[in-house]
Structure 1
């Protein structure tokens, strides 16, 4: 078989080199494009987390901080009582806020579940959380509130036999 002339071999070698260089450049740009997409996706996730955190804070402020009327209608207690309960749950019950959830949000979600008789999924949508942390925080808050029973529940006093007060007559007659 005869060899091709030198100019044809040089042209073929240049074409192979050009194709190889172009392929390497395309792979290089493709890799950088993929890195850029991954970085942009990461930025979107961070922006989404920040936006959700802002929505949570705004929702909690609307629930607790805006007015007593809103707090009473949603949590069935006024703001002052809510903050006293938070302080009692923290000091006596031993409940602490987590890295992602404040103590006020835990207590507010607990009271919201109790006041409206809702499921974890529904409360999770209201507080922008998944149902699992809502359930975990509910159980932790319930345990802390149960530790407060000696402070929150008043022991009943028996009615003395020699009592002459009219308000006690009804209870004496109907007591078992």
Structure 2
């Protein structure tokens, strides 16, 4: 078989070289596109986390900071009592907020579960959390509230037999 002329061989070599360079450029642009999409997805995830954190703050403010009526209807106690309970749970019960959840949000979710008899899934959606941390925070808050038992629940004193005026003390007054 006869060899191709030099110009045809050069043309064939140039076409192969151009195809190779085109493939390398295409791979190069494809890799940069993938890097760009990964970076954009990471930015979206960060924005989503920030948006959820803002929504959690707004939701907690609507529950405990906006008005006493909203706090009473949702948590079954007014704002002042809620903050006193938070202080008692922190000081006496030893409950602390976590890196991702504040103490007020833990206590509010605990009271919300008790007030409305809801499941962890529903409370998690309301507080923008998954059910697992809701359950963990509920149990931690329950243990802290149980430590408050001697302060919050006093054993009533029996009415003396010789009392006739009806002015007796049912409970000792605890000042916290």
Q: Equivalent residue for 1:74?
A: 74
Matched residues in 1 for 2:35 and 2:95: separation?
43
Matched residues in 2 for 1:118 and 1:100: separation?
22
How far apart are residue 166 of structure 1 and its match? 4.2
* Structure with higher helix content: 1
The one-character-per-residue Cα deviations of 1:54-88 (angstroms, maximum 9, x if unpaired) are: 00000000100000111011001010000000000
How far apart are residue 167 of structure 1 and its match? 7.1
Q: Equivalent residue for 1:134?
A: 134
How far apart are residue 104 of structure 1 and its match? 0.1
The within-5 A match list for 1:74-113 is 74-113=74-113
Matched residues in 1 for 2:50 and 2:136: separation?
23
Runs of 4+ that moved beyond 2 A: 165-168
Q: Equivalent residue for 1:23?
A: 23
Matched residues in 2 for 1:41 and 1:2: separation?
58
Q: Equivalent residue for 1:49?
A: 49
Q: Equivalent residue for 2:5?
A: 5
Structure 2 residues not aligned, in runs of 5+: 169-176
Q: Equivalent residue for 1:160?
A: 160
TM-score with structure 1 setting the length? 0.93
Matched residues in 2 for 1:116 and 1:110: separation?
10
How far apart are residue 165 of structure 1 and its match? 2.6
How far apart are residue 163 of structure 1 and its match? 1.2
Structure 1 residues not aligned, in runs of 5+: 169-176
The within-5 A match list for 1:106-125 is 106-125=106-125
- Tell me the secondary structure at the aligned position of residue 43 of structure 1: helix
Q: Equivalent residue for 2:40?
A: 40
- Tell me the secondary structure at the aligned position of residue 101 of structure 2: coil
- Tell me the secondary structure at the aligned position of residue 122 of structure 1: helix
Matched residues in 1 for 2:86 and 2:58: separation?
19
Matched residues in 2 for 1:121 and 1:166: separation?
49
How far apart are residue 154 of structure 1 and its match? 1.3
Matched residues in 2 for 1:99 and 1:133: separation?
12
